[in-house]
């Protein structure tokens, strides 16, 4: 049986009104002693605790104990990211014959929805059985995007040790939507750092990646992973390969998920930490996954902190299921457009287990 409770996580102060808004926290616990917490600020996953092969329970996702810690970090810890996750080149795209100019919060580009993306707002919430549904209304022209978009994010922990996330969205005008969950994982424990991350064995079900320039903007080319450091179809230890990633301090690449002829949920990837025995498997209906190894975390761990820990470069990894980055600017990428009358639907399952 899964137990679901809620309480107040913190207070969020609205910058425009100065009003303090309670941030709700929802906590699931199942009989396998796995627990998950999600808050209404950014529809953010703040904690995932699972036991290791000796029964020792650790929190395996980075985050904060207060709203202030999340705001200071500015690294999207566990957040629901949108309206469009990842990068949009030059903060611009064409929608039919119209050029749309977006906010530019990442140099000359837009990253993860702009200055006030979905990760920095308070979501409405209600409970339906064992599920928590959070909703947000993104107004027309918010960060430059056309259309009023209503988003629902549904979260659930199951007795089968799966954390299920589903995103749905509708719009009043043609627009682009691409959401993701930006959780940072370290299966040794969120505070364990790079030395333990390098022990992780990673597998990603993809035979191609999207080529990128020095700004991590896709060039439009698709590169086969065979005989390269990006071939993670055969599991590899991160410590053996992370320094070999060309033109980068680690992985920050979109992997094109192998789905064959199926259009539903597919196996995306797996991470395994041998010392603890903890394993994470990811399944999704999305065509891509951004594999990121916290390359932009500071070298000095005292700069970035949360939940009583100091976070540093290569201290965690992300497997962000999503559409391919900058898809609106590439005709050969999967379509990202959402039009009135249709529903955007993105589901992802995080399955946890322990190997002795």
Q: Catalytic positions, please?
A: 182, 320
To the question of domain 3-198+291-347 being in CATH 2.70.98.10, the answer is yes
pLDDT per residue over 79-109, tens digit each?
A: 999 999 999 999 999 999 899 999 999 999 9
List binding-site positions for beta-D-galactose: 86-87, 182-184, 252
| pLDDT for position 302 | 67
Residue 18 has what pLDDT? 82
Q: Ramachandran region of residue 70, left (φ > 0), alpha (ψ -120 to 50) or beta? A: alpha
Can you tell me the distance from the alpha carbon of 170 to that of 278, in angstroms, rounded to the nearest whole number?
Answer: 37
User: What string of pLDDT tens digits covers the 356 residues of the chain?
Assistant: 999 999 999 999 987 788 899 999 999 999 999 999 999 999 999 999 999 999 999 999 999 999 999 999 999 999 999 999 999 999 999 999 899 999 999 999 999 999 999 999 999 999 999 999 999 999 999 999 999 999 999 999 999 999 999 999 999 999 999 999 999 999 999 999 999 999 999 999 999 999 999 899 999 999 999 999 999 999 999 999 999 999 889 999 999 999 865 567 999 999 999 999 999 999 999 999 999 999 999 987 667 888 999 999 999 999 999 999 999 999 999 999 999 999 999 999 999 999 98
Ranges of each domain in the chain: 3-198+291-347
Distance CA 178, CA 168 (A): 10
- Are 208 and 224 in contact, with CB atoms under 8 Å apart? yes
pLDDT of residue 260: 64
Amino acid 323: pLDDT: 97
One DSSP character per residue, 30-91 reads -TTS-EEEEETBTTEEEEEEEE-TTS-EEE-B---SSHHHHHHH-S-TT-EE-SB-SEEGGG
For 231-234, which contacts have Cβ atoms below 8 Å and span 24 or more sequence positions? Answer: 232/202, 232/203, 232/204, 232/206, 232/269, 232/291, 233/203, 233/204, 233/205, 233/206, 233/207, 234/203
């Amino acid at each position: 049986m899964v137990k679901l409770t809620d309480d107040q996580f913190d207070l969020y102060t609205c910058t425009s009104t100065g009003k303090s808004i309670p941030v709700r926290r929802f906590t699931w616990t199942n009989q396998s002693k796995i627990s998950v917490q999600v808050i209404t600020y950014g529809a953010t996953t703040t904690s995932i605790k699972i036991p290791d092969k000796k029964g020792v329970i650790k929190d395996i996702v980075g985050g904060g104990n207060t709203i202030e810690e999340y705001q200071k970090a500015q690294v999207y810890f566990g957040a629901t990211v949108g309206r469009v996750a990842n990068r949009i080149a030059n903060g611009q795209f064409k929608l039919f014959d119209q050029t749309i100019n977006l906010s530019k919060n990442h140099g000359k580009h837009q990253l993860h929805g702009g200055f006030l993306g979905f990760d920095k707002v308070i979501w409405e919430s209600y409970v339906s059985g064992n599920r928590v549904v959070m909703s947000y209304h993104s107004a027309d022209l918010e960060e430059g995007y056309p259309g009023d978009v209503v988003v629902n994010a549904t979260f659930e922990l199951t007795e089968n040790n799966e954390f299920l996330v589903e995103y749905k969205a509708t719009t009043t005008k043609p627009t682009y939507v691409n959401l993701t969950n930006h959780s940072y994982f370290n299966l040794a424990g969120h505070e364990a750092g790079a030395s333990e991350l390098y022990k992780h064995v990673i597998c990603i079900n993809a035979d191609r990646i999207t080529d990128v320039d020095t700004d991590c903007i896709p060039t439009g080319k698709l590169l086969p992973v065979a005989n390269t450091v990006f071939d993670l179809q055969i599991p590899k230890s991160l410590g053996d390969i992370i320094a070999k990633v060309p033109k980068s301090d680690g992985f920050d690449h979109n992997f094109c998920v192998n789905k064959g002829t199926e259009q539903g949920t597919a196996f995306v990837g797996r991470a395994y930490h041998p010392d603890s025995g903890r394993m994470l498997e990811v399944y999704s209906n999305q065509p891509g996954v951004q594999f990121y190894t916290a390359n932009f975390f500071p070298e000095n761990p005292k700069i970035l902190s949360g939940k009583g820990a100091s976070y540093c470069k290569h201290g965690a990894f992300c497997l962000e299921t999503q559409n391919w980055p900058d898809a609106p600017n590439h005709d050969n990428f999967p379509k990202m457009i959402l039009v009135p009358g249709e529903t955007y639907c993105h589901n992802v399952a995080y399955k946890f287990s322990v190997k002795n």
